[in-house]
Amino acid sequence: MSHQTGIIASDSLRSFFAQSKDGRIRLIKVSINSEREQLELEHNEPASGTWDEDYDKYILPLLEDKQPCYILYRMDTRDNDTYTWLFIAYSPDNSPVRQKMLYAATRATVKKEFGASQIKDELFGTHTEDVCLQGYKRHTISQDAAPPLTAAEEELAEIKKTEVQANVHVDSKHQTLAGVAFPISQSAFTALDKLKHKEITYVQLSLDIKRETIELEHSETIDIDEIRSRTPSDSPRYHILLFKHTHEGDYLEQFVFIYSMPGYKCSIKERMLYSSCKAPFIDNIEESLGMEIIKKIEVDAAEEITKDFIYDEVHPKKNIVKQKFAKPKGPAGRAPRNIKKE
């Protein structure tokens, strides 16, 4: 269930990982450089005492408010002549949603880059009490008392820990298993309401990544061919269209959702956020506005958005193939039937 982000370790971090396993290093703190879209070494500490003596002294000062991080902590035990490590994923509840999602999606990459075989235990926390020495001891006790979980059960349990329960409306946001719901700005919500009442035929929306909101880009009555000129070639967009057309003699007006994603012309963060916010956003407008989306379409380029293309998506052609009647075979092993002529 890990959603890979495309973020990889920097060359300097890979080099440090390779040199850190001789027993001298006690702690490694890793963070994500959002601008460079890579994992980087933020801090390290040498061993000075036993693992439990060093634990709180080294780990607690590194935990920042509103800032997730990864910590690799070397234990004193060995496995086949190599030290074992504890992997800590720290993600405070009050961190920005996009930060929590980015760190959760990149967790598997950190373990792979370091060497998953040397990580013998993992600890996830949203508060310092979860990952302090006493928190880790509580974790080990609960692990010993409970039957071992499968890999899928462990990941599902971890995701549930990060889940935030909230109602979705103009001023709220929440994270779910299906994705991340950003709040819809008031101007965007007003435009969607106008679209729902068919006062306009088209609304285009974007994500404000810094403010973590869904913002209005365009709201108007236009021809479908005009959508292409309003669709950026280097940034994703959500489009909702009142599709007016005739099908099999019936005049129809139906709402169609189009997600335009221009491939790798936009950043990894944009691709991930737009993809994760899409389903909660559609659920939100369908529930709060009563707007039934008849079809959800994804396109790579604005040139794909034509009336014929949308029509074929909404009303796919039926492929009817007439099959010749095939006489069923008789039971296996039965002798051929003898026909007597009189």
Residues of the chain with CATH 3.40.20.10: 8-162, 174-314
For residue 2, pLDDT over 60 is answered with no
The mean pLDDT of 43-57, rounded to a whole number, is: 96
At 273-295, the pLDDT tens digits run 898 899 989 988 888 788 999 99
For residue 162, pLDDT over 60 is answered with no
Question: Token pair for residue 86?
Answer: 């504890």
pLDDT greater at residue 253 or residue 147: 253
Question: Token pair for residue 198?
Answer: 């068919």
Output the pTM of the full model. 0.51
Fold of 8-162: Severin (3.40.20)
Distance CA 26, CA 175 (A): 34
With vertex at residue 148, the alpha carbon angle to CA 143 and CA 154, rounded to the nearest 5 degrees, is 85
Contact yes or no for 250/288 (Cβ under 8 A): no
At 203-249, the pLDDT tens digits run 999 999 888 889 999 999 999 999 999 999 999 999 999 999 999 99
Nearest to 195 by CA among 299, 120, 130, 289: 289
Nearest to 2 by CA among 113, 152, 164, 173: 152
* Cα–Cα separations (whole angstroms), residue 76 to 27, 53, 57, 60: 12, 11, 16, 19
For residue 166, pLDDT over 70 is answered with no
Distance CA 30, CA 109 (A): 12
The mean pLDDT of 86-90, rounded to a whole number, is: 96
Q: 161 pLDDT band (50/70/90 cuts)?
A: very low
Distance CA 144, CA 123 (A): 14
In the numeric block, the tokens 């994270």 are attached to 175
The pLDDT assigned to 171 comes to 44
CATH number of 174-314: 3.40.20.10
The string of DSSP letters for 206-222 reads EEETTTTEEEEEEEE--
Q: 145 pLDDT band (50/70/90 cuts)?
A: low
- In the chain, what is the greatest distance between 2 CA atoms, to the nearest angstrom? 107
The string of DSSP letters for 5-68 reads -S-EE-HHHHHHHHHS-SSSEEEEEEEEETTTTEEEEEEEEE--S-HHHHHHHHHGGG-BTTB-
In the numeric block, the tokens 């000075």 are attached to 48
Contact yes or no for 256/294 (Cβ under 8 A): yes
The mean pLDDT of 46-69, rounded to a whole number, is: 96
